[in-house]
């Protein structure tokens, strides 16, 4: 039996050890999830909502404990860990309050006496999840899936097993029957067997593009549906009429929140030529002023990256982009201290074909790109294999909306950083994945959309 250790990225110290489960145990857990499904699918929305409200109360009661755990395991600054736990409670309550409307039957007028569409659960769903929002990403998938009557087995990222078990525990404490939500502490290579298991009906993965390709391939061979929430290289356009002071504040937060490790973080900053120099000067000043440090300190702006290998990876991307001709105006050096720290870094004059333009920068590194005019800015934004989020900053709201409509991404915001909201669909296009989470659209991903006709 293999044991994995969770390591605090701020100190490089071991936090805890977890034994991987065997293939046999994984099979048994899936069997339990299937048995649970056969009962759970017939429970009423009222019963499910009651349990989700209890779960929300657990997130409130254990906010500090869970937040400290997330911070310890993946380095998120403590304030942001607390917000993450609050958001989990909100999701539980949102679905508890709205499930009746979200899944209401839809009557369709035909020649039948009665014809309508109804939405029924499918079975045991597999969630493969990332470490960057170790509680929220799981909850964002699991709550709607469970509220529709499915059950969930989780394969969480290896470095956040403490969070994975805390979640399993929380569902149990809320009173969910055994098997409604369970954690499979497996390696990624063991996912193939899980997907092939006859009781698994679908897979939702939130993670990187390579993981998406691998899982989609296995699921495709087994004719199992997938939703893929993958990486992004979100472009934000800054037009010449903006308030540069305010825009650079937002840009700084957008790049450094969650220590730079958010799928929808601003990564490519496309700035019109007229304001490029002023924007870059102010952005560099603000990014450079933000305090990096121990994520348990209340006053730091950003902490370490989640793992040393991820820190080394982003450093290589910075080095490559510099060698390709970009200008390094801030950061770019691994600090001499313990922990997976990487400083706020800005690469300027970044162009298509350079690593920082073409690849996802999953850390506190900004690529600043000069655009000749608005048309060029849109072309640059769309010149990407990714399509998760984008945004445009301008005082001209009509123009902003027109541009937002031309940007190739699942989410385009005007004068605001992209956020996920349970009322609105969330997801990407191109290599950022397919399918949607949240809202009316997300809840229909893992249901049988069933036609009923009565003659």
Contacts of 444 (CB under 8 A, 6+ apart): 119
Q: Is 144 in the site for ligand NAP (CB under 6 A)?
A: no
- Minimum Å gap between C-beta 213 and ligand NAP is 8
- Minimum Å gap between C-beta 346 and ligand NAP is 20
Contacts of 241 (CB under 8 A, 6+ apart): 394, 395, 396
Q: Is 137 in the site for ligand NAP (CB under 6 A)?
A: yes
The stretch among 9-17, 32-40, 154-162, 276-284 that binds ligand NAP (CB under 6 A) is: 154-162
Q: Is 227 in the site for ligand NAP (CB under 6 A)?
A: no
Q: Is 211 in the site for ligand NAP (CB under 6 A)?
A: yes
Residue 400 and residue 392 in contact, taking contact as beta carbons nearer than 8 Å: yes
171/362 with CB nearer ligand NAP: 362
Q: Is 386 in the site for ligand NAP (CB under 6 A)?
A: no
| Contact positions with ligand NAP (CB under 6 A) in 60-79 | none
The stretch among 69-77, 166-174, 202-210, 331-339 that binds ligand NAP (CB under 6 A) is: 202-210
6/345 with CB nearer ligand NAP: 6
Chosen residue from 124, 138, 152, 230 binding ligand NAP by CB under 6 A: 230
| Contact positions with ligand NAP (CB under 6 A) in 407-446 | 428, 433
- Minimum Å gap between C-beta 437 and ligand NAP is 7
Helix (H) and strand (E) counts in the chain: 15, 20
The stretch among 65-73, 127-135, 270-278, 441-449 that binds ligand NAP (CB under 6 A) is: 127-135
Q: Which of 88, 163, 176, 263 is catalytic?
A: 263
- Minimum Å gap between C-beta 195 and ligand NAP is 9
CA distance 352 to 188: 33
How do strand 124-128 and strand 151-155 relate by DSSP bridges?
parallel
Q: Is 207 in the site for ligand NAP (CB under 6 A)?
A: yes
**Is 263 designated active site?**
yes
CA distance 126 to 153: 5
Q: Which two tokens stand for residue 2?
A: 């293999």
Q: Is 232 in the site for ligand NAP (CB under 6 A)?
A: yes
Residue 417 and residue 411 in contact, taking contact as beta carbons nearer than 8 Å: no
Q: Is 231 in the site for ligand NAP (CB under 6 A)?
A: yes
Dmax over CA atoms of the chain, in Å, equals 76
Chosen residue from 52, 191, 366, 371 binding ligand NAP by CB under 6 A: 191
260/295 with CB nearer ligand NAP: 260
Of 204, 255, 91, nearest to 434 (Cα)? 204
Phi, psi of 436 (to 5 degrees): -135, 150
The three-state secondary structure class of 242 is coil
CA distance 432 to 144: 21
Q: Is 362 in the site for ligand NAP (CB under 6 A)?
A: yes
CA distance 38 to 419: 35
- Minimum Å gap between C-beta 428 and ligand NAP is 6
> Which residues is 229 bridged to in the sheet?
206, 433
* H helix or E strand, kind and range, residue 64: helix 63-74
> Which residues is 154 bridged to in the sheet?
127, 183
CA distance 317 to 363: 10
CA distance 435 to 229: 8
- Minimum Å gap between C-beta 269 and ligand NAP is 17
Q: Is 171 in the site for ligand NAP (CB under 6 A)?
A: no
* H helix or E strand, kind and range, residue 152: strand 151-155
- Minimum Å gap between C-beta 345 and ligand NAP is 18
CA distance 239 to 179: 52
**Is 176 designated active site?**
no
Q: Is 142 in the site for ligand NAP (CB under 6 A)?
A: no
- Minimum Å gap between C-beta 294 and ligand NAP is 22
Q: What sign for the dihedral angle of Cα 355, 357, 362, 365?
A: positive
| Contact positions with ligand NAP (CB under 6 A) in 236-295 | 263
Q: Which of 84, 209, 229, 437 is catalytic?
A: 229
Q: Is 129 in the site for ligand NAP (CB under 6 A)?
A: yes
Beta strands in 33-148, from DSSP E residues, in sequence order: 106-107, 114-120, 124-128
Q: Is 84 in the site for ligand NAP (CB under 6 A)?
A: no
Cα-to-chain-centroid distance, residue 79: 18
Phi, psi of 6 (to 5 degrees): -95, 135
User: How many residues of this chain interact with ligand NAP, rule: CB under 6 A?
Assistant: 30
Q: Is 157 in the site for ligand NAP (CB under 6 A)?
A: yes
Chosen residue from 82, 87, 155, 267 binding ligand NAP by CB under 6 A: 155
104/419 with CB nearer ligand NAP: 419
Of 169, 167, 119, nearest to 145 (Cα)? 119
Residues annotated as catalytic are: 229, 263
Task: Kindly list the residues in this chain that would bind ligand NAP in the complex (CB under 6 A).
Answer: 128-132, 137, 155-158, 187-188, 191, 206-208, 210-211, 214-215, 229-232, 263, 360, 362, 388, 428, 433
């Amino acid at each position: 039996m293999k044991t994995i250790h969770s390591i605090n990225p701020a100190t490089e110290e071991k936090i805890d050890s977890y034994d991987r489960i065997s293939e046999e145990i994984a099979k048994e857990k899936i069997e339990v999830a299937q048995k649970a499904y056969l009962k759970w699918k017939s429970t009423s929305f009222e019963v499910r909502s009651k349990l989700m409200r209890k779960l929300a109360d657990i997130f409130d009661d254990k906010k500090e404990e869970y937040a400290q755990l997330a911070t310890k395991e993946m380095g998120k600054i403590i304030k942001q860990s607390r917000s993450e736990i609050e958001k989990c409670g909100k999701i539980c309550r949102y679905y508890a309050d709205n499930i009746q409307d979200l899944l209401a039957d839809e009557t369709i007028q035909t020649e039948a006496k009665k014809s309508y569409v109804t939405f029924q659960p499918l079975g045991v769903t597999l969630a493969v999840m990332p470490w960057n929002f170790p509680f929220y990403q799981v909850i964002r998938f699991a709550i709607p899936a469970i509220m529709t009557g499915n059950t969930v087995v989780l394969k969480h990222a290896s470095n956040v097993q403490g969070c994975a078990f805390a979640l399993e525990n929380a569902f149990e404490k809320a009173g969910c029957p055994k098997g409604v939500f369970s954690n499979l502490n497996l390696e990624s290579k063991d996912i193939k067997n899980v997907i092939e298991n006859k009781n698994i009906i679908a897979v939702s993965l939130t993670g990187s593009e390579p993981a998406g390709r691998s899982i989609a391939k296995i699921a495709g061979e087994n004719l199992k549906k997938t939703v893929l929430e993958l990486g992004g290289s979100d472009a934000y356009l800054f037009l010449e009429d903006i308030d540069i002071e305010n825009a650079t504040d937002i840009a700084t937060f957008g790049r450094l929140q969650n220590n730079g490790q958010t799928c929808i973080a601003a990564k490519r900053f496309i700035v019109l030529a007229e304001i490029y120099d002023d924007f870059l000067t102010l952005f560099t000043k603000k990014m450079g002023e933000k305090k990096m440090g121990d994520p348990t300190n209340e006053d730091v702006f950003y902490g370490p990256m989640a793992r040393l290998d991820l820190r080394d990876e982003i450093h290589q991307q910075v080095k490559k982009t510099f060698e390709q001709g970009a200008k390094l105006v801030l950061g770019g050096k691994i600090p001499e201290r313990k922990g997976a720290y990487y400083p706020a870094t800005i690469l300027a004059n970044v162009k298509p074909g350079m690593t920082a333009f073409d690849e996802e920068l999953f850390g506190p590194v900004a690529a600043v790109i000069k655009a000749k005019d608005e048309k060029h800015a849109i072309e640059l934004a769309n010149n990407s294999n990714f399509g998760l989020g984008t945004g445009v900053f301008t005082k001209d709201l009509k123009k902003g909306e027109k541009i937002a409509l031309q940007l190739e991404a699942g989410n385009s915001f005007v004068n605001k950083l992209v956020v996920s909201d349970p009322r609105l669909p969330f997801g990407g296009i191109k290599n950022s994945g397919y399918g949607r989470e949240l809202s009316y659209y997300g809840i229909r991903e893992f249901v049988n959309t069933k036609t009923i006709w009565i003659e």
